Structure 1
Amino acid sequence: MKNLLKQFVLAVFVFFFTATISLAQDSIPEKDNVFKKFKSLENTEGRFKFFFNTPNRYIQNSAYDWLDSVNLYLNESEHSGDTLAINKYAILQSQIHYDLGDYDKSLAIAKELYEKKKNLEEKSNFLILNLLDKNYSKLELYAKQIEIRKEKKELGITENVAFYDIYSNLGLHRKAMDDYFKEEKKFIAEDDFYGQAVFYNNVGSYLRLDKSTPTALSTYKKAKGFVNVYLNDVTKVKTAKQLTKANHLKGIIEGNIGKCHVLLKQYEDALPYLERSVQTIQEFNKGKFSSDEVENTLEMAECYLQMGDLEKTTDILSNTITPSTIENILKKNKLFASYYSKTEDYKSSAYYLSKVIRMKDSVSINQSSLKKQQLAAVVGQDLEYSKKMMEQQKQALEDSRNEMIAKDERINIVFISLVFLLLGFAGLVYAYLRIIKSQRLIVEQKHIIEKALVEKDSHLKEIHHRVKNNLQMVSSLLSLQTKNTRSKAAIAALEEGKSRVKAMALIHQKLYQNEDLSVIEMQGYIESLINSVQSVYKKGGHSISITIDAEGVELDIDRAIPFGLMLNELVSNSFKYAFPDDGTDGKIYIHLRKNHGQEGFFEYTDNGIGLPEDTEVRAEASMGIRLMNRLANQLQTSLNTDRTTEGVRFWFNFK
């Protein structure tokens, strides 16, 4: 009675669940339903491209719905005689049958298309060859699979003929892993996180199948880390197809991690990974047959069985998708046998055990010779592997005979290596101590040099300060002499001399005030010089505007002193002679530029009364003009003079 009630409740639940799914599908807007969009396309080429470019295409409608529509379009194409459309819909048929796990039907359609390959376009041939490759692999027809892969290489679809998966399917997991690691690792870029995830997932599978479970577990976790980085990388734009593939891969990797925990008998650790894996594969591989989903579901049943949760075990075994491989069928029968044994239903347990034994016997008889033939075919194609196997067989006896000798030699080598290692370590310690000693000496010498440099700078500043004080003393003496002199000419000469001394003293003042004692910042120096000259010559009625453009220019002392004296003469002359009328609005413009590695340029202009007509005659008698010419010679240049409409312009280039 309880069983009937359970069946009734289950039937009601299934009815309402199916109705809810149907209503949900009907309620999806047509623009979001990929199946309806596929059917709404008007031509074959559009449907063909849409089908293969749509990730997770069975999420809303099952693969059987798609197959019905494709069959309908195929019949219409056959009636209209459209050969191109017939071939494209046949490719879609083959792909859908493959997605459903009907590999025999998919292979039959692909083989029929393969015979027409000369009449097909490149894209169609590529898809057909891939379908043949995948179907032969699922059906364990490895010799045929090798032929297809050789043709793919000849057509340029692949760069080389890979045998990794075939070797693994034939039980040579370590060989598959070694070849895969050697050939594929070098082609994967460091920033190709998806490629890294695929690579380490495959390596982990080879290790797991080779019974290296702990190593396989760490390799799978590395693969999961890479796929998480890829999915979380917001700097790279990903298509919906790429995201679907990456999430599906993540589900497969988590399932593989769960399988490793099962092999290590860590059932509680395995369950979360297996459950997430099944959910992820169902979400991102919806509608397609997945052997990973079947295997992970059976592993979940194994976990619950070992943990004593028999109710969940029987629920999973009853609802599991029908296994398609012999290994999965055997696994399911073994789980049923263990389950019935634990529930003390020994008759049912014996029934499933007998099925397991019969199937194993049948497999061992039928597959033993077939695998040998397939292995021979693969080895025949892979000459390098064949040679290695022969060499290993020839040397197997010799290796066993020399094993004891080799052990002794290894011990001696290890001992000698240890001695050299200790000597090398002692040498490294000695070198390290010498380096530390050298570094200490360098630090001490550096400290001495830095101290000497500080003292040198201090002495230089002191020298400049004393020179400046001495020049100021000279200036004061000239001032005293001026007060004791009655001759106007003598007073004027003394004032000019005092002005020149101040110009030189200002240079030394700027130097000892500056952090860098080798150069003088000219903008500030010129401003200070102008202020000094103004204090001597500017009178009440003058209104002279002075513009200085020397920002960022620095000169050494050898050029700064003659330049300062020359500028002192020019400014003094402007104040004395250029503006005789006190009401004149005078303008003085000073321009100085010095580019790194290029010539410098100096320009001085005023809008005064200009030079008199007999300037050249006066130049012979004027001390100021003779002084400026000599100063120009010190700067390795010559002073140029231009009369302008207003005032005068002096200029020169210098190095």
Structure 2
Amino acid sequence: MKRGFLVLLLGVFFLLFTSLEVNAQDVPLQGENYFEQFKQLPDSDSRIDFFFDTSNRYNQNSAYDWLDAVNVYLNSSQKTSDSTSVSDYQLIQSKIYYDLGDYDKSLAIVKELFDDMEEYPMEKKAHILNIMDDDYSKLELYDKQIEIRRFKREFGLTDNVSFYDIYSSLGQHRKAMEDYMTEEKKNLEDGDFYAQAVYNNNIGNYLRLDKSTPTALGYFKKAKALIDVYFSDIINTKTENQINEGNHLKGVIVGNIGKCYVQLKEYQKAIPYLEESIELINKYNTGKVSTELVENTLEIAECYLQLNNFEKATDYLSNDLAPKKIRNVIKRNRLYASYYDRTGDYKSANEYLKQNNRIRDSLDDNDTNIKSQQLESVLKQDLENSRKMVEAQKADLEKSRNEIIEKDEKISLVFISLIFTLLGFSGLVYAYLKSIKNQRLIAEQKHFIENSLIEKDSLLKEIHHRVKNNLQMVSSLLSLQTKNTKSKAAIEALEEGKSRVKAMALIHQKLYQNEDLSVIEMQGYIESLINSVQSVYKKGGHNINITIDAEGVELDIDRAIPFGLMLNELVSNSFKYAFPNDEENGKIYIHVRKTQGQEGFFEYTDNGVGLPEDSEERANSSMGIRLMNRLANQLQTTLNTDRTAKGVRFWFHFK
């Protein structure tokens, strides 16, 4: 009897332990009092390690409690003239002020430590430079941030100086994404799901800021799937800090998904993601100022305003947000003004609009010039780093070449007889002089060719720019003609013509914006084309989920123009006819594949109402279908059409 009871009791404890272990990813150990543990440590060395190794340190005591305790330790160390302890506590103090959002105070303290940084161990140097890097980023002092990153490389804390986050802060989101992919993708490991989630989230954020919302949404959903896989991986045990950081990252990712749905004006879809994000960030980023928390709270307030749920909107707006960034302050005032305007309190709405006007007036008139100067500084530093890398590579090649020459000379000296020394030396002198002459001629010809190529590229860019401007003028003339035309059929024909002209203009715009004038990157072109068509057919465009899979595909102008016109016809037809009831689940899928040395493949599908029964008879009278068939002939292919169970599919192969 007793034995059976003991077995049952052990079984219950086993199940309870297993349940706690499985759910550890969701529930942080809130019972851990890090503040008390910190105070019980014997010295500043152990306290600074504990502080920086504990991500959720403010789980039970606020940052102000920590600051009071650190101030006591700092005063005591100053009285005993313990310089090492003083610098340790000042470093902790600086990080606490950063967590509280007082970046000026944090920077003032850490700059004093920076002046004496040579005497500190490498780990403390890393903390100092990381805090200064973060402070300058928040204060938008990017030229200073560049200097700190240069110090990081000089101290060996990083192999390369990266600027993609600075480019993004200065509005160059595409440039930031390209540099980030170049630098970080090569470092990703297959089994590191956390790092892959961070990578996909950052790519998605650059695309979201660049208004490529549908593509950004795909990256964010992939990042969320990766962080879920990270938590479900039971083989690799995780520390409490890793669980905390993973859940905070998940909060940021789902918040970004919500922001994408807000940009797409799908407010009902956005709300659950934003609510989950706010809950996760509050839970796993306790006591720290969070830009993501402020932005997500403002986004969800805007959702409820757009849905006319004023009570919920004011609940979120009245939260203690304390936005630090000017754009968030302006957005909060704009939302308040919108709320009061909708509820009929025009006086209060006017007050908030005046506040925004005062904020804008108080900004420095040279703010744009300052950002341009900072961007120029970043570009110069980026070019300088590239130049140094090239010089280092040249130096290594020159060193290797010299070593080879030295070995050859030693071997030659062994086998050359004294009788032929003078003749050999004369031959070497002659060859050397001839080589110098040839090198001089080659250098002159190379310089001439390079100048000619630069001049050619400039002329080609100017030509493409002027062609684009002329096509835009044609589009404007068609718009004027539309306003002066009363016939509905004529207006539709003019609008279709204008859309086709825009598709061709976009080709030339992409060409003169590219470094390589011979090809067009199709992923970015298709995204821009979709945005252009959506601006014409707003009603259907905002309810259709568009997926574009053309990453890495490039086409020359001879194929890009008929390809773009054909895609313009297909997307326009989908917006006009495929979804007559404005369905929420409308989907369009565009796939382009081009393999080196092989033919390409294009596929376009939608899940709309499909083609009518008499579509083959209409093909002879429809200008759009005749145009697509002629464009397919230009691509030396045939446009194929398949009726699916729901929707339609167009496809063709091309060379």
Task: Provide the TM-score with structure 1 as the length reference.
Answer: 0.57
Alignment root-mean-square deviation, CA: 3.0
Q: Does 1:409 align with 2:558?
A: yes
Match of 2:499 in 1: none
Amino acid at match of 1:368: T
Cα displacement string for residues 406-461 of structure 1 (whole angstroms, at most 9, x for unaligned residues): 99834799799978998999xxxxxxxxxxxxxxxxxxxxxxxxxxxxxxxxxxxx
Amino acid at match of 1:396: K
Gaps of 5+ in 2: 1-28, 388-453, 469-503, 509-517, 519-555, 567-598, 601-631, 640-655
Q: Which stretch has the larger CA shift, 392-401 or 253-262?
A: 392-401
Cα displacement string for residues 190-235 of structure 1 (whole angstroms, at most 9, x for unaligned residues): 2111111000110111001001111111110111111110111001
Compute the displacement of 1:357 (Å): 2.7
Q: 1:123 and 1:167 mapped to 2: Cα distance?
A: 28
Match of 2:368 in 1: 368
Q: Does 1:331 align with 2:344?
A: no
Match of 2:124 in 1: 124
Cα displacement string for residues 327-348 of structure 1 (whole angstroms, at most 9, x for unaligned residues): 1001100000000001100011
Change over 3 Å in CA distance of 1:411–1:120 after alignment to 2: closer
CA contact (8 A) 1:143 1:378 kept: yes
Q: 1:30 and 1:277 mapped to 2: Cα distance?
A: 19
- 1:42-441 matches, within 5 Å, as 42-363=42-363, 365-383=365-383, 396-401=461-466, 409-410=558-559
Task: Provide the TM-score with structure 2 as the length reference.
Answer: 0.57
CA contact (8 A) 1:379 1:385 kept: no
SS, match of residue 190 in structure 2 = coil
Change over 3 Å in CA distance of 1:30–1:241 after alignment to 2: closer
CA contact (8 A) 2:87 2:113 kept: yes
Larger Cα-atom Rg: 1
Change over 3 Å in CA distance of 1:133–1:420 after alignment to 2: same
CA contact (8 A) 2:152 2:158 kept: yes
Amino acid at match of 1:409: D
- Number of residue pairs aligned between Structure 1 and Structure 2: 395
Q: 1:358 and 1:339 mapped to 2: Cα distance?
A: 20
Q: Which stretch has the larger CA shift, 408-417 or 199-208?
A: 408-417
Cα displacement string for residues 73-93 of structure 1 (whole angstroms, at most 9, x for unaligned residues): 000000011000000000000
Match of 2:593 in 1: none
Match of 1:653 in 2: none
Q: 1:351 and 1:95 mapped to 2: Cα distance?
A: 37
Between the aligned residues of both structures, percent identity stands at: 51
Q: 1:186 and 1:409 mapped to 2: Cα distance?
A: 34
CA contact (8 A) 1:297 1:320 kept: no
Amino acid at match of 1:400: H
SS, match of residue 146 in structure 1 = helix
Q: Does 1:38 align with 2:38?
A: yes
- 1:460-475 matches, within 5 Å, as none
Compute the displacement of 1:360 (Å): 2.9
Compute the displacement of 1:266 (Å): 0.9
Compute the displacement of 1:111 (Å): 0.5
Cα displacement string for residues 75-119 of structure 1 (whole angstroms, at most 9, x for unaligned residues): 000001100000000000001001111100001111110001012
Match of 1:507 in 2: none
Q: 2:69 and 2:153 mapped to 1: Cα distance?
A: 34
CA contact (8 A) 1:337 1:349 kept: yes
CA contact (8 A) 2:562 2:635 kept: no
Change over 3 Å in CA distance of 1:278–1:82 after alignment to 2: same
Compute the displacement of 1:188 (Å): 0.4
Compute the displacement of 1:358 (Å): 3.0
Q: 1:395 and 1:292 mapped to 2: Cα distance?
A: 44
Q: 1:359 and 1:385 mapped to 2: Cα distance?
A: 38
Cα displacement string for residues 503-545 of structure 1 (whole angstroms, at most 9, x for unaligned residues): xxxxxxxxxxxxxxxxxxxxxxxxxxxxxxxxxxxxxxxxxxx
SS, match of residue 321 in structure 1 = coil
Amino acid at match of 2:221: K
CA contact (8 A) 1:30 1:36 kept: no
SS, match of residue 311 in structure 1 = helix
Gaps of 5+ in 1: 1-28, 426-655
CA contact (8 A) 1:379 1:386 kept: no
Compute the displacement of 1:55 (Å): 2.5
CA contact (8 A) 2:267 2:307 kept: yes
